[in-house]
């Protein structure tokens, strides 16, 4: 039994995707305004999320649904470790802790890993497809704004094992459609993907205060006063 899960996920998360781009930190980032401190904090939060998510995906790689969507070449934990060492030095592990919203995100991944592993693919889809799409724009912006050389400090966005991102995304969507599940499970996966967007947004919102401290509240308000129509959604297609 094939499904239309890829299309359902794309259309079913469009509003959440646009809402995520309208978080202050993200709006500033898309306009080229990002500081080293806030970006390093964002990466440290992602390190905790990906560590938990990739552990869970690996744990369930024999699961009938998860097995279809388990691609080890997507793993980001190792890349994030390189970035955190770049920003925080060799003692980086002692210097980072998950933010409250990140902790809530981790708890949710643990909860579904223990009770509904099929929903893990909603989190994998939300993060990895975003990294391979709009995330590539974020990498270029960070590289320019923070004057980074090569992949220094942005290894997270560099997929060494995926030279052709478009081809891989097509393969990933085909894999989603090959998952044998009923319509009710499809709907639960789409709902969980929207939940993943919400958790990501809450983690991003926590970074606003760090950015405001650096650029000032008036500049922050000027950069975030207008609604963004969803500039990276085109990169998601």
Report the distance separating Cα 128 and Cα 74, nearest Å.
7
Identify the residue whose tokens are 């080890």.
Answer: 72
Report the distance separating Cα 18 and Cα 135, nearest Å.
14
Q: Where exactly are the structural domains of the chain?
A: 5-225
- pLDDT value of position 227: 74
- pLDDT tens digits, residue range 98-125? 999 999 999 999 999 999 999 999 999 9
Which CATH code fits 5-225? 1.20.910.10
Task: Please state the rounded mean pLDDT for residues 52-62.
Answer: 97
- pLDDT value of position 147: 96
Q: Which two tokens stand for residue 44?
A: 């440290």
Q: What percent of the chain has pLDDT over 90?
A: 89
> In this structure, what are the phi and psi dihedrals at residue 148, rounded to the nearest 5 degrees?
-90, 145
> Is residue 92 pLDDT above 50, yes or no?
yes
> Is residue 233 pLDDT above 60, yes or no?
no
- pLDDT tens digits, residue range 122-151? 999 999 999 999 999 999 999 999 999 999
> Is residue 234 pLDDT above 50, yes or no?
no
> In this structure, what are the phi and psi dihedrals at residue 66, rounded to the nearest 5 degrees?
-60, -35
């Amino acid at each position: 039994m094939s499904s239309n899960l890829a299309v359902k996920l794309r259309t079913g998360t469009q509003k959440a995707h646009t809402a995520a781009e309208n978080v202050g930190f993200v709006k500033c980032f898309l306009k080229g305004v990002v500081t080293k401190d806030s970006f390093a904090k964002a990466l440290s939060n992602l390190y905790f999320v990906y560590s938990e998510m990739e552990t869970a995906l690996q744990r369930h790689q024999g699961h009938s649904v998860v097995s279809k969507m388990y691609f080890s070449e997507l793993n980001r934990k190792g890349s994030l470790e390189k970035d955190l060492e770049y920003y925080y030095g060799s003692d980086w592990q002692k210097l980072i802790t998950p933010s409250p919203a990140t902790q809530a995100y981790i708890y949710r991944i643990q909860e579904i890993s223990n009770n509904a592993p099929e929903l893990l693919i909603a989190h994998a889809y939300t993060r990895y497809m975003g990294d391979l799409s709009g995330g590539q724009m974020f990498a270029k912006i960070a590289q320019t704004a923070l004057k980074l050389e090569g992949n220094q400090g942005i290894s997270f966005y560099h997929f060494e094992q995926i030279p052709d991102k478009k081809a891989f995304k097509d393969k990933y969507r085909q894999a989603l459609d090959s998952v044998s599940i009923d319509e009710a499970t499809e709907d639960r996966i789409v709902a969980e993907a929207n939940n993943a967007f919400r958790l990501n947004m809450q983690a991003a919102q926590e970074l606003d205060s760090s950015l405001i401290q650096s650029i000032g509240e008036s500049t922050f308000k000027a950069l975030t006063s207008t609604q963004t129509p969803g500039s990276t959604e085109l990169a998601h297609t």
